[in-house]
Amino acid sequence: MLRPHTHNTILRDRYQLVEIVGQGGMGCVYKAEDLRLPGRLCAIKEVQPELGISAEDRSQLHDQFLTEASILAQLDHPNLPKVSDFFTDDEREYLVMDFVAGEDLKQIIDDSIRRDELLEPRIVMEWAAQILDTLDYLHHRQHPVVHRDIKPANIKLTPEGRIKLVDFGLVKLMGDDERTLTVMQGRGSALYTPLEQYGGDGGETDARSDLYSFGATLYQLLTSKAPPDAKARFLNPRMLLPPSELNPDVRRTVSDAVLWAMEMHPDDRPADVDALRQVLFGREKRPKKEPTTPVAPPFFEALAANQGMLILVLVLLLLAFFITIL
């Protein structure tokens, strides 16, 4: 990976870097000042290609980045930072968006743990409503956008009390051909990632994957405890305790909705944001899980299909037995 830019570096003759606010395997996130609009601060996400890839792959990644960035630039929602620019420079791709002041929800959880306190469920539910509104907006666009990395660290609370979903780094665009754009994708964070997303770019993820991550995020906000990851739950389903057991102030309806969102199989989760919203806020009850009808083995299926013949054979055998005895 290329080295991070230094303080005061100017990109595109416009953006003067102030500091690094995040760093990962694909590059850095910088806080920068827009020199054309004095006083405006922005966040610049840097995306670097893997070292050693071919020129053909590099060109394909560049085209995919432009496609994805142009879609993100069209998003306009009060709980999303506005993407204002994107460009390529020195073999790196850059996405420019509003800089969001405030603490992320992971920091807020950590602060509550240090104070040995739980967050007030009423406040958490206000945040949950804003996050669901944001996901509803993303999932119902003409080409639905699936975020794939909902977690407390990617959600900020502004000084005005507004929730902002700040990281677009793992967006997946669901087109008619279900094609996945891979430039800024990843597998998400294990504690908040559904099992189907562990397949990487080929994983069969959709809007219900975001609902799982939202449920895991809400679980931690309500209990101050991170949920067990999906792989561990697959081996031991009883690991996930209801939030109401960890925090008695959490209503049973809320606890049930969180567990519903975190069902292991996507088909067992809410179909969409609105279905989850209705249960989470007590307007409807969680639908009962349909019992799975066991599939009879072929041998027993054959017996059931030939029940009459089987009875006749048994009668003849008994008759032959008594005749032999007499």
Which residues are catalytic, by number? 149
d(CA 174, CA 181): 9
φ, ψ for residue 92, nearest 5 deg: -120, 145
For 118, other C-beta atoms within 10 Å of its C-beta total: 20
- Cα–Cα distance list, 157 to 10, 137, 152 (Å): 29, 19, 10
**264 within 8 A of 233, measured Cβ to Cβ:** yes
Helices (H), 98-189: 105-114, 121-139
- Cα–Cα distance list, 292 to 254, 268, 295 (Å): 25, 12, 9
For 26, other C-beta atoms within 10 Å of its C-beta total: 19
d(CA 295, CA 112): 49
Q: What's the 3-state SS for 56-83?
A: HHHHHHHHHHHHHHHHHHCCCCCCCCCE
d(CA 35, CA 33): 6
Query: Nearest CA to 105 among 189, 166, 27, 170?
Result: 166
Q: Can you read off the two tokens belonging to residue 122?
A: 């009423």
d(CA 205, CA 198): 10
